């Protein structure tokens, strides 16, 4: 499995990195997204949504209270937030497993709060470096994750990503 990290220097850069992932995502992928409060998980998720073709006029917010939001695009984005989740059974009650095995992309914020392993293609960790800078680390867990990450990395290292520098 592969790992790779990139430094973003603004919210726009974090959103761009998410967009690059969303543009390359395949149906049925699960992305686990972790990081401290305020690190940029929702900003990254917005980029993923826009990369999936969700209208930029559609508000993409953290589903902290609803626990799950669905956004319609080229692929549906099933956006989960496990921050307030208290029991393993809560995931099943939310329909998580149907979404994760479906035709969209499942993105799970606060995945590290879940007590058991969640099958996934990618794990994304966001950490603070400075006021607007973030270190975003990717780890692949399967072949589709490796293919998507390779494409994200090429795009980030190319002209589109250099706009963030």
Closest-CA residue to 123 (of 135, 142, 141): 141
Total number of domains constituting the chain:
1
Half-sphere exposure of residue 99: CA atoms within 13 angstroms, side-chain side: 23
Q: With respect to residue 113, please indicate whether it lies within any of the assigned structural domains.
A: yes
What pLDDT is recorded for position 39? 93
> How far apart are alpha carbons 79 and 81 in whole angstroms?
7
Q: With respect to residue 59, please indicate whether it lies within any of the assigned structural domains.
A: yes
Q: With respect to residue 77, please indicate whether it lies within any of the assigned structural domains.
A: yes
Q: With respect to residue 43, please indicate whether it lies within any of the assigned structural domains.
A: yes
What pLDDT is recorded for position 118? 79
Q: With respect to residue 164, please indicate whether it lies within any of the assigned structural domains.
A: no
Kindly tell me the number of DSSP H helices and DSSP E strands found in the chain. 6, 7
Cβ atoms of 145 and 121 closer than 8 Å: yes
Number of residues assigned to the chain: 165
Q: Are strands 3-8 and 30-34 parallel, antiparallel or unpaired?
A: unpaired
Helix (H, G, I), strand (E, B) or coil at 82: coil
pLDDT in tens, the chain (165 residues): 899 999 999 999 999 999 999 999 999 999 999 999 889 999 999 999 999 999 888 888 776 555 677 888 999 999 988 776 655 566 777 777 777 878 899 999 888 877 667 788 999 999 999 888 999 999 999 999 999 999 999 999 988 766 665
Q: With respect to residue 165, please indicate whether it lies within any of the assigned structural domains.
A: no
Q: With respect to residue 146, please indicate whether it lies within any of the assigned structural domains.
A: yes
Q: Buried (b) or exposed (e) across 33-43, using 16+ Cβ within 10 A?
A: bbbeeebbbbb
Q: With respect to residue 133, please indicate whether it lies within any of the assigned structural domains.
A: yes
What's this model's pTM, rounded to 2 decimal places? 0.89
Query: What range does the domain containing 18 cover?
Result: 3-159
CATH number of the CATH domain containing 51: 3.40.50.300
> How far apart are alpha carbons 160 and 57 in whole angstroms?
22
């Amino acid at each position: 499995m592969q790992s790779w990290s990139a430094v973003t220097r603004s919210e726009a850069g974090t959103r761009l990195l998410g967009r690059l992932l969303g543009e390359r995502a395949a149906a049925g992928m699960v992305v686990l997204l972790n990081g401290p409060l305020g690190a940029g998980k929702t900003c990254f998720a917005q980029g993923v949504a826009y990369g999936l073709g969700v209208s930029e006029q559609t508000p993409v917010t953290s589903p902290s209270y609803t626990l799950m939001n669905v956004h319609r695009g080229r692929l549906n984005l099933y956006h989960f937030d496990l921050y307030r989740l208290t029991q393993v059974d809560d995931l099943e009650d939310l329909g998580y497993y149907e979404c994760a095995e479906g035709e969209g992309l499942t993105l799970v914020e606060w995945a590290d709060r879940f007590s058991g392993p969640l099958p996934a293609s990618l794990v994304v960790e966001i950490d603070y470096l400075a006021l607007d800078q973030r270190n975003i680390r990717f780890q692949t867990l399967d072949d589709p994750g490796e293919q998507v990450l390779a494409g994200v990395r090429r795009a980030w290292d190319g002209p589109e990503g250099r706009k963030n520098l």
